Amino acid sequence: MMELQDMLFSQGFGTRRVCCGLVQQGLVQVGPERTPCDNPGAVFDERELLFHVQGQSWRYYALAYLMLHKPAGFECSQKPAAYPSIYTLLPAPLRRRGGAAAAGVQAVGRLDQDSTGLLLLSDDGAFIHRLTSPRHHVAKVYQVRLKHALDERMISRLLQGVVLDDDPRPVRAAACQALAENQMQLTLTEGKYHQVKRMLAAVGNRVEGLHRSSIGRVDLPADLLPGQWRWLSAAEVAGLTQKMPAPAGC
């Protein structure tokens, strides 16, 4: 059970003082019936509670798990250098979850500003660590458009492993498939800086376009348009946190 003002604070609607004011001003309704409540100390069972703040519907989540279809021209940074931040695509409460001591939801790994596709975000540190740690072998699938034609030699080298300039240990693709002369599908289980671009450069090619279509057991839905986001379902979160078998050769 939780007081209404504390619930709003935990969900990112401002400081406790601001949340108290929202309730007292009659800007918060509770439940599917949109019952008005002007008592900040009113206690509710917060589990999956539906509430409405200034006309917008929200559901209480103790922890946030989201997917975003990242468009090109956005940086995966809270303090972008040259392009807008992906966080501007999210409602303000998601960026403020947890109060001033927290930083709201965080991207689970990154995509370059010119890359597109599936991006996961959460405020669950253990979830983020599990998906980004290479020892858990969480597969990320990319659709890659290349400058030069793909050949069997390049595919073989990617599967066998290439050496990047910051790590003497070969980095291998978990899977690699030609889709067309200048297109391929590449599956990785690590997340090094500019990894796809650097791996293709190491075999004599160049990435012209990069799109991430899946992470683990979660695929980017066809109806989630660039710039749109949604909550992950409980089944999707469970699928991402289940132990994944290590790909052959890794």
Q: How far apart are CA 214 and CA 34, in angstroms?
A: 37
Q: How many CA atoms lie within 13 A of 232 on its CB side?
A: 26
> What is the layout of strands, in order, in the sheet containing 35-36?
35-36, 28-30, 50-53, 56-59
Which helix (H) or strand (E) segment is 106 a member of?
Answer: strand 106-107
Q: Mark whether 38 is an active-site residue.
A: no
Q: How far apart are CA 218 and CA 118, in angstroms?
A: 9
Q: How far apart are CA 241 and CA 63, in angstroms?
A: 14
Closest CA to 87 of 123, 121, 113, 125: 121
Question: Which one of the listed residues 6, 38, 112, 167 is annotated catalytic?
Answer: 112
**CB-CB contact of 170 with 203 (8 Å):** no
The residues assigned a catalytic role are 112
